Amino acid sequence: MPASCPLRMLGRLAGLGLLLSELAACQRAEVRHWPTGALRSEGRRARISGLEEGLWTYYYPNGQRREEGRYVAGRRVGQWREWHSNGAPRAEGERRWLASSGASPRDGLWVLWYEEGSTEGRGVYRAGLREGLWEYFEHDGSLDRKRTGEYHDDQLLE
């Protein structure tokens, strides 16, 4: 290998680093506020398309987090978390982009919580609709037999 090869490789790596930093610069930070001045949302947008990219956080007017998750090309994907207005967890699970509907509904396992923190339910969503076995619980942790059962297209089967 000629002595100039390491220098060429170093030059290529520096060029790659420059390209990566330029791609990162193609996003701009966005922060929005409620009329009261409280934070409403924060995240990044692609400079050219204007679409949301990366981690976004949304807030209630009282300043508590409402929802947080990632966007890819303006589409909600991956793990998302939601909170009640008192700051307690509300829901957590996956979102998946569906080209057929142009939406990113809940998809996969989700867990739901009551405002005071006890588990409300857990089960699987398919394209935003409850599907399969869902378990629901009363505030005291006992099984809610009226809502627990097999679901299809978001309807409890009898």
149-152, strands of its sheet edge to edge: 27-33, 39-46, 52-59, 65-72, 75-83, 89-95, 106-113, 119-126, 129-136, 149-152, 155-156
- 26 pLDDT band, cuts 50/70/90, is confident
Give the model's pLDDT for residue 158: 86
CATH numbers and ranges of domains, the chain: 29-156 (2.20.110.10)
Q: For the chain, give the mean pLDDT.
A: 89
Q: How would you classify the pairing of strands 149-152 and 129-136?
A: antiparallel
Q: Is the pLDDT of residue 4 over 90?
A: no
Q: What is the pLDDT of residues 83-142, one digit of tens each?
A: 999 999 999 999 999 998 899 999 999 999 999 999 999 999 999 999 999 999 999 999
Give the mean model confidence (pLDDT) for residues 55-68: 98
Give the model's pLDDT for residue 16: 56
Cα separation of 55 and 98, whole Å? 20
Query: What is the CA 132 to chain-centroid distance, rounded?
Result: 23
